[in-house]
Amino acid sequence: TQLLEQSPQFLSIQEGENLTVYCNSSSVFSSLQWYRQEPGEGPVLLVTVVTGGEVKKLKRLTFQFGDARKDSSLHITAAQPGDTGLYLCAGGYNFNKFYFGSGTKLNVKP
């Protein structure tokens, strides 16, 4: 059973398009992180959100934490081939237990 569900699982788009990835759960999290992982490498942290309703921007990436702290979204504006990778959300249940979402594999074609 996956505690965190991500959608879509796969996304293939053209350079310049916008996209949104969703991370949903029935559980409340103390924090939620988004990571990007390249093949053969470990996940790299993109952002952490801790407050319900929080919105954070990282260049062309916009992250939102749901008001009830059960869900989050990642929006990418004008996607570029360098954005290609596996996007993972991770929920923190306490300070030392983190579970990952099912992952979204993004491919941005030039």
Contact set with another protein (CB under 8 A): 30-31, 33, 35, 40-45, 48-50, 88, 90, 92, 95-103, 105
- Residue closer to another protein by CB (options 15, 67) is 67
- Residue closer to another protein by CB (options 50, 78) is 50
- Residue closer to another protein by CB (options 73, 102) is 102
CB of 66 to another protein, least distance (A): 15
**Residue type, position 73, single letter:** S
- Residue closer to another protein by CB (options 49, 76) is 49
Contact 36, 86 (CB under 8 A): yes
CB of 91 to another protein, least distance (A): 11
CB of 50 to another protein, least distance (A): 4
CA–CA separation, 71 and 63 (whole Å): 11
CB of 29 to another protein, least distance (A): 10
Please name which of 32, 51, 106, 98 lies closest in space to residue 75, comparing C-alpha atoms.
106
Burial class for 65, CB neighbours closer than 10 Å (0-12, 13-18, 19+):
buried
Name the 3-class secondary structure at 83.
Answer: helix
